[in-house]
Homo-oligomer: A and B are copies of this chain.
């Protein structure tokens, strides 16, 4: 019995290369969940195998800037020359339906969102060590050296922003990290501030 009916907005963030996407996929593979993924919009070119409307909505920079003007993003951020944003519509609709809306976004976007949205849950994914992240960024090898170096520098700055998040989850093993996030979602639903209203309503019911 779920005392809190409304879904949670779950923000999964962390430095680039930490494995946010892989953790998010493992999270969705856990059976019996009410998760939905909020697909981000981006101006960066698709990587091999990425599908428009599934991994991202891929749009031109002109299109993206027009949508910023129209206030159609919950948050957006520029990152190493590309734009990333969360389409505002759909998110609220899903939360009302009791779905947990998962956002996987860059640190900059997450911290902007933190100021706007009061009851979202902010999770910072970290590598088991700094070197592990550098190694992963170097191995990815799909981008030019300058881009990788920019990512490493950005990651170093972002490491120090962990304290602005509600939870820190170590991505030592992807399924462990996903399990921890699922535990956080379940625990947040039981938090007194989210449940007390429906609990008191339950007490008032005649046969309650």
The answer to whether A208 and B170 have CB atoms under 8 Å apart is no
Interface assignment of A48: CB less than 8 Å from any CB of chain B:
no
Say yes or no: is A88 at the interface (Cβ < 8 Å to chain B): no
Verify A192–B124 contact, CB threshold 8 A: yes
Q: Are B196's CB and A167's CB within 8 A?
A: no
Q: Collect the chain B residues with CB atoms within 8 Å of residue A123's CB.
A: 190
Q: How far is the CA of A195 from the CA of B208 in the complex (A)?
A: 40
**How many A residues are at the interface, by size bracket?**
35 or more
Q: Which residue of B lies closest to A180 (CB)?
A: B190
Known: A130-B208, A184-B186, A187-B187. 9 other contacts (CB 8 A): A1-B172, A126-B199, A129-B207, A130-B203, A166-B192, A167-B187, A168-B199, A179-B186, A183-B187
Q: Which of A79-87, A145-153, A157-165 contacts B (4 or more CB under 8 A)?
A: A157-165
- What are 30 A-to-B residue pairs whose CB atoms are below 8 Å? A1-B128, A3-B168, A3-B170, A123-B190, A126-B199, A128-B202, A129-B202, A129-B208, A131-B207, A131-B208, A159-B203, A162-B192, A162-B196, A163-B192, A166-B191, A166-B192, A167-B187, A167-B191, A168-B196, A168-B199, A169-B190, A179-B186, A180-B186, A180-B190, A183-B183, A183-B184, A183-B187, A183-B190, A184-B187, A184-B190
